[in-house]
Every structure is written in C-alpha cells, then in structure tokens.
A and B are shown apart, each in its own frame.
Chain A
C-alpha cells in the first residue's frame, strides 16, 4: 500500500501538471491565497475572536465601530463591527465558511447530476440523448438567477422566515446545483462521444462487461480532466450566485450570514459612513472568486488536450 501511494506521489511529481504549476507564478500565488482562505474558513471557530452565532457574546453598544487605525476604533475588533455589534473579522471568517460550503456543495450536486446525465446521453445516444439534451437546453434558456429567485421566493413564502433560516443552506445548494447541471452534462457528453469510439471501449464490450461498468469504470475516468476544469470555474460561479441571492434577501439569513448577506446588511449603512461593513466582505468575496477563477484558467490551459496530450 505504501509503495502504491509513494509511486502515485512520484508520478504526480513527474507529471506535466506539477511541472507547469511550478512555473506559473499566478497559479502558485492563487493557490496559496485560496489555501489560506479555505484553511481560515474551515477552522473559523479556532481563529475567530468571537462567535457571531452566539447572541450572548454580542453587545449592541459595540455597533458600527470602525476598523483599527480609524478614530473611535476598539482594538478588540480589528476590522470593526457591524450594525448589531458583531465583530467583522469573526463574521467574515464564518461567512466565508458558509459561502465556500455552498459553493462546493452546489458543484458536487451539479457534478453528480451532470456526470450521470452526460454519461447516459453520450454513451447511449439516440432517444435518451435527445431527451436529456433538450431538457438541458430548456433549463439553460432560463437564467440560473431567475429560477433561483422564483424557487427561493416560493420556499420563503411557504416555510416562513424562521424555518427558511434553518434550511437556507441546503436550499441554496439545491437550487444552484440543479440550475447549473447542464453545463457539466454537456462537457461530459462531448468527451464521452470522443471516448466511446476508441478501441478500448470495444475491447470492454467484447469482454461482455455491462453498460454501467463500461460507462463508470472505463469511460468516466478518461473524461475527468474537462470535468475538473469546469468544476473549478463552477465553484466560483456558485459562490457568486449565492452572494447575489443573499444580496436580494433570498439567501442566507442575517443570523448565519454568508459573504453575500454581509454585504447586504452593510449596504443600508454605507451612506451613513459605515463603509467597512459592506466593503471588507466585498473585497474578501472578490479575492476568493478571483483566485478560484485564476486557478481554473490555469487548469484549463494545462489540461487542454490540444496543447498537451496525456
């Protein structure tokens, strides 16, 4: 077992992926920034000075304190506080965690649906292909945000605010995941169409393997690189979609804010001089999405089969 993992690590060290990563400064920088942000977000309870979900730790008297370095700042709140007196640093750490969770969760759901439908459409072809791809076309003709707004509004109206607050995170993962699966399904279908003509698929058929086995064990592993590239970009898209929905009041509630709902909560105070409540989470969101997109661009260049054949 150890020799197997060792050789896999060695294979990675010798791979083109690692080679090009070492030479791409933008990719290295993006990766480090992303790693730091993910690390800080995942271990938010360890780093955050206060727990923004705990109402007992919040004092309304501390509300709207500016960040350190400005007149009237309190050293206990390095990035200031919001209108309810929550520490901005802690809230942002917890908010990044929520945003990342929704981003990853939505992409996992998208990938599950997209890979399944893409494989079926590409491999079986014919009528299955036509039906699945027409459903995908119909779904793509609605904008994601529009579908999400309608579904979110209906849910919020039928469950009430309190209940909605509890299930909001699953709802958002579900809405964004279901709305965007055609992107991945189309990519998967295109690579399956190319792969299924190769002779190793014929060899598997001649062996008598079942369709499921051929699809998932033989074809799927060979279509993973484009899925990987598109999934990276889709994480950034999902985080943006979540932020947009939260900004419209259909996303995470103020009690468990994501980056989007933090921006929204500060938006009402921006005219009265408390710019930091909106601006700092906004910056964090921009940096997060930017580094994911930069990494996605680098991956696309590396894994483009026309530039490099593995």
Chain B
C-alpha cells in the first residue's frame, strides 16, 4: 500500500449557532441560563487519500461533504483533528508557511458562475496565480504557461481578453480548472464541479478532469452526490452520513457489495433502465438535525438492524474481509 498523500485524522467541525454572549443568555423559569448551540457538520472523519487516486466522497445534502473539502483546503479551520499533507501537518500553519501547499493543493468549485472574478479578464485570472507563486519568471514564460493551460482545457488561447460572463457554464468551469492547473498542483479538491452544469456538458468536464489526472499525475478528492459519476470516476469511495464516514471501499467493491445499511439504501435508489417497479429500500423518518446528534451510531434511528449497542456506542471504521471499511456494529458482529 502506497503512503497517503493527504491524511485527515479525527476531523471535527462545529459551526456556532448561538452568537455572542448576550444572545446566549436566556431567562427561563425565574433564572438566567446560558445556552450554546452548534451545528455538528463533521463529527470525527478519518480519511486517507493515496497518491494518484481519485477518492470520491458521496452523501446527501448537509452530510458534511463540502465542509470536509473546505477544511482540507484550509478555507475553514477544524474544531478538532488534523490534516496532513505528505506527512506534514498543515491545518495549523500560518502566513508564509502555507504558500508551498497552496501551490500543491488546488480547488475547483461548484458554481462556475460565481467562481470567476467578474471584473477580471481570463488572461488576468490565469496570469495572477502564476505571477504570485513565481514572481521572478519572465513575462514570456508566464504568457506561454497561460497559453498552455488554456489549450489543455480546450479553451482557445485567443479568448484571453474576454471576461467570464462572456462564456457558457461549461467553458467557465474549464477556465476554473485551468486556473487550478496553472500553478501545477499535485492534489485537487473538486467540490461538486459538475453538478451546476448541463447534463450534456458534465461528461466533457469529467473527461477533461480524468485526462488532466493522467497527463499531470493528479490526485483528486472529489465531492459529489451523483453516484453515476462516482462509478465512472472514482478509484475509491467514501460514503458520508451526518458528518461521519460510514463506508469506505474501492469503487468496484462498493457498487458490487455494499455492506453498510445506509450504503445499501443509497445504492438501491439508483434508477435502473430495466425495472419499471423499482425495489428500493425505504428508510423510515428523516435525517436527524446536526444540532442535536443522536447518541451512538448516527444512523441508528433509521436503520432496520439497529439494536441496543447501536444506540449507545459509536461504531468505528473496521476493515472487512471484502476489503471495505465499514462503520457498523451489525456488520462487525456478523448480523448483516
């Protein structure tokens, strides 16, 4: 097994809801009380991204996928836990120390309509990162690099003097990818990069990402909720539910033999052409609020196999004989 390029250990992120001190104090039943509330977006996530792979993170809205991506990139600072890059802890770095990692790690965003600065031309958008990270290279070299990345994402280099709003959604996303590639990164976090695009464009952008992975030896952390994309794109898959990873496996293994009850339900929901009477697993109830997390396994309230232990003890990711890592007491005990 190759050593991990990016390692996330025990990551937690809480967003405070209760505001300032004065807003926290309430008067109830004749006495003052201080009440603090927080959204628990991530509750202890451990992930390893291996060099050269595309690790897909899937899960429904609000399960913390994007928060994981933003915390890895340092846009959010974790409430607890660590992020390591190539063996070096990076979540606590400050100022100039971060800069080398900013070149090695880049991010592609979900909304191509907001991710390009509306007042900058494409040329300026692509030039700025190169000049910022390599201040002493010559003008002609910057120009050559910009031309090269534009050509590599399929944007005509002559369009550099245009502004972002003059392009279509797919073209903008290509430009956003070009911006990430301009600094020659090793690792790219893609936060639902194709979900805002037209279906006909999605495949093109996806192929572009795969092509870039091959030619530039990239490693991806790919956030998505589209299972078809995962099957096409991912080397390994991590399934998240309510801020925790519930199953982590090779793409083939996961799709062939999902172990965790939530993964089984998720995969059974994929529409298929052949059956007109889908036989998907119906989960009871709704996703609990991340403000008051359920005790024990976060899935126990909706799980048909839950027992007393599931209600009390938080399951850990445990390797199974099939090669998958599953966080489920029922799987561990052989009940499932």
A residues lining the B interface (CB < 8 Å): 4, 7, 198-200, 202-209, 218, 221-222, 310
Contact = CB atoms under 8 A, between A and B. Distances in A.
B98 A208 contact: yes
B139 to A, nearest CB: 15
A203 B107 contact: yes
A200 B176 CA distance: 9
B27 interface: no
17 contacts: A7-B161, A198-B115, A199-B110, A200-B116, A202-B75, A202-B109, A203-B176, A203-B179, A206-B73, A206-B105, A207-B183, A208-B98, A208-B99, A208-B102, A208-B132, A218-B120, A310-B118
Contacts of A199: 109-111, 114-115
Nearest to A3: B161
A107 to B, nearest CB: 22
By Cβ-Cβ distance, the 3 closest A-B pairs, closest first, are A208-B102, A199-B115, A221-B119
B117 A206 contact: no
B115 A200 contact: yes
B114 A200 contact: yes
B312 interface: no
Interface of B: 70, 73-75, 98-99, 102-103, 105-107, 109-111, 114-120, 128-129, 132-133, 161, 165, 176, 179, 183
A208 B117 contact: no
B102 A200 contact: no
B115 A203 contact: yes
Contacts of B110: 199
Contacts of A203: 107, 109, 115, 176, 179
Contacts of A202: 70, 75, 107, 109, 115
Contact of A206 (B106, B114, B120, B165): B106
A250 B119 CA distance: 44
B67 to A, nearest CB: 13
Contacts of B70: 202
B75 A222 contact: no
B90 to A, nearest CB: 12
A199 B70 CA distance: 12
Contacts of A204: 117
B230 to A, nearest CB: 23
Given A199-B110, A202-B109, A208 B118 contact: no
A203 B112 CA distance: 11
A183 B119 CA distance: 24
Contact of B114 (A198, A207, A208, A310): A198
Contacts of B107: 202-203, 206
Contacts of A222: 117-119
Nearest to A197: B114
B73 A208 contact: no
Contact of A207 (B119, B120, B129, B161): B129
A203 B129 CA distance: 10
B122 to A, nearest CB: 13
Nearest to A204: B117
Nearest to A221: B119
A221 B119 CA distance: 7
Contacts of B128: 207
A205 B75 contact: yes
B75 A206 contact: yes
A198 B117 CA distance: 9
Contacts of A4: 161
A281 to B, nearest CB: 42
A209 B133 CA distance: 9
Contacts of A218: 117, 120
Contacts of B176: 203
B151 to A, nearest CB: 21
Contacts of B114: 198-200
A207 B100 CA distance: 10
B100 to A, nearest CB: 9
B132 A200 contact: no
A218 B128 CA distance: 11
A4 B106 CA distance: 31
Contacts of B74: 205-206
A109 B120 CA distance: 27
Nearest to A130: B20
Contacts of A200: 114-118
A222 B117 CA distance: 8
B73 A207 contact: no
A291 B110 CA distance: 46
A149 B120 CA distance: 45
A160 B107 CA distance: 64
B133 A208 contact: yes
B333 to A, nearest CB: 43
A310 B115 CA distance: 15
Given A206-B102, A222-B119, 8 more contacts: A199-B110, A200-B115, A203-B179, A205-B74, A206-B75, A208-B103, A208-B133, A222-B117
B132 A209 contact: yes
A7 B123 CA distance: 15
Nearest to A11: B163
A218 B74 CA distance: 19
A120 B281 CA distance: 52
Contacts of A205: 74-75
A204 B183 CA distance: 13
Nearest to B109: A199
A200 B122 CA distance: 13
A214 to B, nearest CB: 10
A198, A208, A221 pick with most chain B CB within 10 angstroms: A208
A207 B116 contact: no
A309 to B, nearest CB: 10
Contacts of B133: 208
A257 to B, nearest CB: 43
